[in-house]
Amino acid sequence: MAGGKLNQVIENCPVDPTPEFIKSAMFDSPRTNTQATISVEAFMQPRSLLGLSIFLNEVIADFLVLGLVDGKLPKKGSAPEDKVKFLSAFFGDLSDWPPTFQMVGDSDEAWDASQLTSLHDKLRKHNIPSGVLVVPEKSHAFENMSKIGDQLHLRYIQPACEFVTRYAMKNSEGK
């Protein structure tokens, strides 16, 4: 996770964030409903640094299950395994799961395409409509660069929208 401008962000990321830092990131006037930016300065804000710290400490699942523990991040592996498994649709009860469309770039830094295809297969086994697209030579959040009508939009995003629309319209007709 190092290189270029990212080094500056990582150097300022607290390895063991204090309760005071966490409070400043989560509770002291968090910015809401603001336009996201991708500048180094935006990533240096406490809220962004806390998210990076959660990621670097590999406590995402623990944090989602336990939240803060005595004002600090939970320890890695401290959340009960059955609760962690419940976070994932793959391990959960899919009886009421809605139709699902997933899309990922084959060079995504955050998700492995096999995660999507595994969930897709499980959904299909439960007769839940599911679509999945693995987009060649694209990284995480590649769709953010798309414009309506461009090649990326027409080839990948439009089919995803059509999938969602098809099931949203089907469900709304019966109500």
pLDDT digits 0-9 by tens, 22-59: 888 887 665 666 666 667 777 788 888 898 899 899 99
Given pLDDT bands bounded at 50, 70 and 90, which one contains residue 1? Answer: very low
Please tell me the least confidently modeled range out of 1-15, 45-59, 81-95, 99-113. Answer: 1-15
Which two structure tokens, joined as six digits, stand for 79? Answer: 């959340």
pLDDT of 25: 86
pLDDT of 171: 63
109-159 pLDDT tens trace: 777 888 888 889 999 999 999 999 999 988 888 888 788 899 988 999 999
Indicate whether 2 pLDDT > 50: no
Cβ distance 50 to 9 under 8 Å? Answer: no
Alpha helices in 27-80 (DSSP H): 40-43, 46-56, 60-66
CA–CA dist 133, 106 (Å, integer):
9
**Mean pLDDT computed over 64-77:** 93
Q: Where in the chain are the domains?
A: 6-83, 88-173
Nearest to 144 by CA among 156, 134, 136, 132: 156
Beta bridge partners of 42: none
89 Cβ contact partners less than 8 Å away, ≥ 6 residues apart? 97, 119
Check: pTM over 0.75? Answer yes or no.
Answer: no
Q: 3-state DSSP: the chain helix, strand, coil percent, rounded to 5? A: 50, 10, 45
